[in-house]
Structure 1
C-alpha cells in the first residue's frame, strides 16, 4: 500500500497517481517503510499524476505521517487539500478547495478527531 490520502489513487479529477518518491509500503506493524529499507521512513513523501503534475507532498517521521501535507488537483497548481499531521493523525487546521479554487471546507483536528467543520458553497 502506498501512503497518501484515502482517495489518492484517483485524486482530484480522477487522474491516476503513477509515481511516488520514495515508494512506501505499509507493513504489519502499521508503519510505512521505503522500498528496501528496514527502518520506518522519516522524510518527505512525494507523488505525481500520470500527466506529470505534482499530486502531493507530505512528511513522515518514524513511519507515520507527521508535518505538513499538501495535495493538488491534476490541473497545474490547483490546491485540493492542505493540513498538518502529528504522530500519524490529522492535527490542526485543514482545508479543502473546489476545482474552481474556492474554499470547499475547513476543519480543525485534534488527535485525529474533526471539529469546527465549516462548509462553503
Structure 2
C-alpha cells in the first residue's frame, strides 16, 4: 500500500509473480477514488474505471485478457455522458459518435489500454 504525503491512501493492490494481479485501486490526494481495475497476471481483465477528483466517474471500460471487450463509456466532470462505444476483442464494432457541445478526447485517446 502507498500513501499520499497528507496521509490519505494513494494505491492498494496485489502482485503475483512480480506483476499486478487482482483489484488495483488508486486514490486522489483529497481521498476520493481515482482509479480501479482488475488485472490478471499483468493485463487488464474485467472492469476498469477512472474518477475525477470531484468523485464523478470519468470513464468505464471492460477488458478481456488485456483487450477492450464490451462497453466503453466516458462522462464529463458534471456527469454528462460524452460517448459510449462497444468493443469486441479489442476492435471497436461501431462508429464513434460525439455528443454535441462536448469537446473531450475521442476514443482514439485511449491507447495501450489507458487514456493518454
TM-score, L = length of structure 2: 0.69
Higher RCO, 1 vs 2 (CA within 8 Å, ≥6 residues apart): 1
Quote the Cα distance in structure 1 between the aligned partners of 2:46 and 2:87. 13
Aligned counterpart for 1:54 among listed residues 29, 33, 43: 33
Gaps of 5+ in 2: 1-8, 101-116
Of residues 19, 34, 37, the one that matches 1:40 is: 19
Deviation at 1:110, TM superposition (A): 1.7
Q: List, as ranges, runs of 4+ consecutive aligned residues in structure 1 with deviation greater than 4 Å.
A: none
Offset, 1:91: 0.9
Kept in 1, the 8 Å contact 2:13–2:20? The answer is: no
Partners of 1:111 and 1:86 lie apart in 2 by 7
CA RMSD of aligned residues (A): 1.9
Q: Does 1:20 align with 2:11?
A: yes
Residue in structure 2 matching 1:64, options 43, 47, 50: 43
Distance in structure 2 (CA, Å) of the matches to 1:73 and 1:43? 23
TM-score, L = length of structure 1: 0.67
